[in-house]
Amino acid sequence: MSSKKRNVYIVGIGIISPLGYGIDATEQALRKNESAIAPLHVFAIQQPPPLPVGQVLNLPDLTFPRTHRLAITAARQAMEGCTHPPDAVIIGSTTGGILTTEELLASQDQDAHNYRYHGLTTVAEEVAREVQCSGQALTVSTACSSGTVALSMALKMLQSGKAEWILAGGVDSLCHLTYFGFHSLQLVDPQGSRPFDKNRQGMSVAEGAAMLLLSTTKPQKPLGQILGCGLSCDAYHPASPHPEGKGASRAMQKALDNTALKAEAIDYINLHGTGTIENDRAESKAVRSIFPQPPPLSSIKGATGHGLAASGAIEAAIAAICLQKGLVPANTGCRQPDPECRLTPILQPVDLPISTVLSNSFGFGGNNACLVIAQPDLFSSPEPVVQSTSLTLLGKACITGAGHTQQSMERFSQGETMAGAVDLETISAQLPVRKVRRLKRFSRIALALADAARKDSGLDHSPHCVFMGSGWGSLSETYDFLDKLQQSQEQFPSPIDFVGSVHNSAAGQIAIMHEATGANITSSGGDYSFEQALLAADTFLDRDDRSNSAFVLAADEAHIQFSSLLDPSIEPATPLTDGGGCLSLCRQAMPGKLSLQLTFFRKKTTTVMDELITASGGKETLQRSCRMILAGIPAAEAKEGQAQLDSFLEKSGLTIPVIHYREFTGEFASASAVAAVMAVHLMESSEIPSREKILVLGFGKNVTCMEFGRQQN
């Protein structure tokens, strides 16, 4: 890997929020210091009066769910004037097509085709199609920090040379789940959000989107430069921040360390500032721990509301506006700053020269993410970390219909199916009853996987980071919340189900149980969710340090109502199957240990098989070193996936054993995570020479390759 410095420039910005469309409208609205928060009218509710929200007006009438429409609108703005597609699209989202799903469920619609845009991954896929991106279309879902995490991932990929152009950002739409969910937690201010005000009572749920076109190629007029990022996890509580702001403080300090800047170099802090009592207090403590004398600071959520996954991306776009226009936005809604916070937010817009901005985003599950954005070329980019190209395996675990790892691998070795949905008691057998009594199936599967992988590693400490994938997330909590909401005429939503419904709830629970305070990223990529989690791990595990290890896992749960509606590979008569797999990995090379590389991940194209062979070292290398293939072809992609596999075998000239792993695992989105454990099992139990490898290939909408081998001396 090259050690060349790579500056990451903001080339284009698309922004759509309650403040308006585009950079100019956003700037003018900020200068007016007026709140765009108003009573809900995006959808009708049964129990008036409607609460104040931040909603987008006059949204273009595209044939997609509302989240997709917001994202596509912002993407078109960001790509205006760009003559070529980005190498990758990375989007943070928590809602996906849920608003449409809510309407379909209310009408008792059982046509699975109508639910085809439910998945979070479909937002990134449609944006990639819109901008003609044939590379990776990635989705991260870390609650309210999702947009900032997406930008952080883009930054890391660009700095490492994995891409030259990336479109990244965040998007969420208003929906019943978030509107009633936050209300059920008593976190909504009926007068509208007033961050850091003495009399604040909570947040205002909002919607919006922002997309930033980023590149290592300097444009004629860059809109800013992203210098660095910092990620952390509180590992404290599923929905509440650490009261001392410890996780937030770590993320801010990591962002500064990543840029080699001192705190004094920051000219403006864009606060997360939701307006909830505890969140604002915790963030205040975190800011004061890093900045004894804070620079000008404010939260814009009193003007926009809290756009959830979109908020961090919207605020990154506004940070670029601040740099370009010399504007410090006001902390709209705050009239009397809370003396307990001991911060003095800017109460009126101010024109000041701004060179650097620190932008904060914090979310459920203790997910914290911060960005440092600056004037172009004002500071030197940090030297990229030269790292090994593979990850080292420390431990493994899986859960299938056959049970845990040992029972599952025994079935596999005997050539028998592992498909099915094991009972909850078996899943939870090794978990502390007190800690999991309120958790439903998805989180229990994830916790059991992480616990077993840690034990299998033989280490006396848990991994520091969590990278998780899931095609569908917490189906039980999502369905139960919406069902109870409907059955009670919207009077009794469940706060516990709401907190558990977010995609990153399980990863947050893993962090809490294992005190994993490092990066915590949940990816959602349908049948390629584990590969996306592995890509995130490969992107962020950039220290050659055994202590900086990670859980890398993916899981999905079977759900009697949702599975056949959402997953196109599952027919109504298909036996329900679920489970997942987990690997404990580190970056440090350990001769003799098994190694893992994600060597390929691209959308299907006419040349994708040739590109896969090239990425795998070419025909001669494949024929010399590849011992076996585990092939994953989702049932919904059976015909095309088999054609892709046949083409690969013909073009590569390979005549080795091919195992269709879904014949063993059954059909569920995270089956490739189990296949990874199957590959490790084969490497450990078979007499495979040290220089030979097993490939786990994924086919269908995307073509992926995971390469399992052994570390050489």
What is the distance between the alpha carbons of residues 538 and 532, in angstroms, rounded to a whole number? 10
Q: What 3-state DSSP class applies to 475?
A: helix
CA distance 706 to 531: 8
Determine contact, residues 287/294, Cβ cutoff 8 Å.
yes
Q: Give a three-class secondary structure readout of 409-448.
A: HHHHHCCCCCCCCCCHHHHCCCCCHHHHCCCCHHHHHHHH
Which residues touch 538 (CB under 8 Å, ≥6 apart)?
Answer: 391, 597, 598
Q: Name the strand (E) or helix (H) holding 594.
A: strand 594-603
Contacts with 81 (C-beta within 8 Å, 6 or more apart), sequence order: 12
Give the separation between CA 621 and CA 626, rounded to whole angstroms.
8
Q: How far apart are CA 365 and CA 506, in angstroms?
A: 8
- DSSP state letters, 601-639: EEE--TTHHHHHHHHTT-HHHHHHHEEEEEEE--GGGHH
**Residues 437, 439, 445, 450: what is their CA dihedral angle, to the nearest 10 degrees?**
-80
Kindly state the helix (H) or strand (E) to which residue 290 belongs, with its residue range: helix 277-290
Q: Which of 8, 37, 75 is nearest to 313 (CA)?
A: 75
| DSSP string for residues in 509-535 | HHHHHHT--S-EEEE--GGGHHHHHHH
Sign of the C-alpha dihedral computed for residues 311, 315, 316 and 317 taken in this order: positive
Element at 372 (helix H, strand E)? strand 367-374
Crossing angle between the packed helical segments 146-159 and 529-540, to the nearest 10 degrees: 60
Positions marked active-site: 144, 272, 306
CA distances from 19 to 26, 29, 55, 178, 700 (A): 6, 6, 9, 20, 40
* Structural contact between residues 92 and 503, judged by C-beta atoms closer than 8 angstroms: no
Closest CA to 211 of 19, 78, 369: 78
Query: What are phi and psi for residue 232, nearest 5 degrees?
Result: -155, 170
SS3 label, residue 72:
helix
Per-residue DSSP letters for 135-148? SEEEEE--GGGHHH
Query: What is the residue-wise DSSP string for 632-667?
Result: E--GGGHHHHHHHHHHHHHHHT--S-EEETHHHH-S
Count CB-CB contacts under 10 A for residue 47: 10
C-alpha 491/C-alpha 494 separation (Å) is 10
Answer yes or no: are the C-beta atoms of 365 and 507 closer than 8 Å. yes
Calpha distance 374→595 (Å, rounded): 38
Name 75's Cβ contacts closer than 8 Å, sequence gap at least 6: 14, 127, 130, 131, 167, 169, 211
CB 344 within 8 A of CB 298: no
